[in-house]
């Protein structure tokens, strides 16, 4: 058995909550996931990429824990669920910025269409002959986690702006008062 994959025993081996997203079932699986991740990573603003990577580090074990409920004794490996989280998170980041609204809407719309098709068909869009198939539950859970992270990220940004604004005002008052 691959020591990187997520199994029902993952809580006894906590590193699997992260490592399962790095495990792939061949070069085609890895290529599909790399392409899916590269689009939102390229569209994210440079200053947002560090924050995005932090979110992915936090979302990886959350997605793994969600997947434990649907494994049914099987294994899970691949980063496609985190790719869906990334599409959602970057889509929201772009959506709230006036200059990127159409791109954010397009990202979220395409991802919504993908999730809808997978929900109707009961399987992932990418079905490869052999050992693996995309798990649509991972995509749905990843999208929901990305949505939660996007809302929290925007809330943190607004709070950060308020704190910065208030701090700058207080510093100006102090500077003017001491003259």
Please check the confidence at residue 123 and state whether its pLDDT lies above 70: no
26 located within any domain: yes
In angstroms, rounded to a whole number, what is the distance separating the alpha carbons of residues 24 and 100? 33
Tokens 């029902």 correspond to what residue? 8
Number of domains making up the chain? 1
Please check the confidence at residue 17 and state whether its pLDDT lies above 80: yes
Q: How many Å separate Cα 114 from the centre of its chain?
A: 15
Q: What is the pLDDT of residue 24?
A: 73
Q: What is the pLDDT of residue 124?
A: 62
Q: What is the pLDDT of residues 46-80, one digit of tens each?
A: 888 888 999 999 999 999 999 888 887 777 877 88
In angstroms, rounded to a whole number, what is the distance separating the alpha carbons of residues 9 and 136? 22
Token reading at 17: 């909550």
Domain of 91 in residue numbering reads as 10-177
Q: pTM for the whole thing?
A: 0.81
Q: Residue 108 in contact with residue 93, Cβ under 8 Å?
A: no
Please check the confidence at residue 29 and state whether its pLDDT lies above 70: yes
Q: Identify the CATH number of the domain in which residue 160 sits.
A: 1.20.1540
169 located within any domain: yes
3 located within any domain: no
> Could you tell me which residues come within 8 angstroms of residue 105 by beta carbon, excluding any fewer than 6 positions away?
91, 95
Q: What is the pLDDT of residues 139-160, one digit of tens each?
A: 999 999 999 999 999 888 888 8
Q: How many Å separate Cα 107 from the centre of its chain?
A: 13
2 located within any domain: no
1 located within any domain: no
């Amino acid at each position: 058995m691959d020591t990187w994959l997520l199994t029902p025993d993952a809580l006894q081996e906590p590193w699997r909550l992260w490592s399962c997203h790095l495990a792939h079932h061949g070069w085609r699986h890895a290529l599909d996931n790399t392409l899916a991740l590269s689009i939102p990573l390229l569209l994210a603003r440079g200053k947002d990429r560090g924050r995005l990577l932090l979110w992915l580090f936090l979302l990886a074990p959350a997605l793994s824990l969600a997947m434990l409920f649907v494994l049914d004794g099987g294994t899970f490996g691949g980063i496609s669920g985190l790719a869906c989280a990334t599409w959602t998170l970057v889509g929201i980041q772009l959506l709230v910025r006036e200059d990127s609204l159409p791109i954010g809407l397009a990202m979220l719309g395409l991802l919504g269409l993908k999730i809808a098709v997978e929900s109707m068909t009961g399987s992932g869009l990418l079905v490869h002959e052999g050992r693996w198939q995309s798990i649509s539950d991972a995509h749905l859970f990843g999208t929901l986690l990305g949505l939660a992270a996007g809302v929290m990220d925007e809330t943190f940004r607004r709070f950060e702006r308020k704190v910065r604004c208030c701090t700058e005002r207080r510093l100006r008052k102090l500077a003017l008062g001491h003259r």
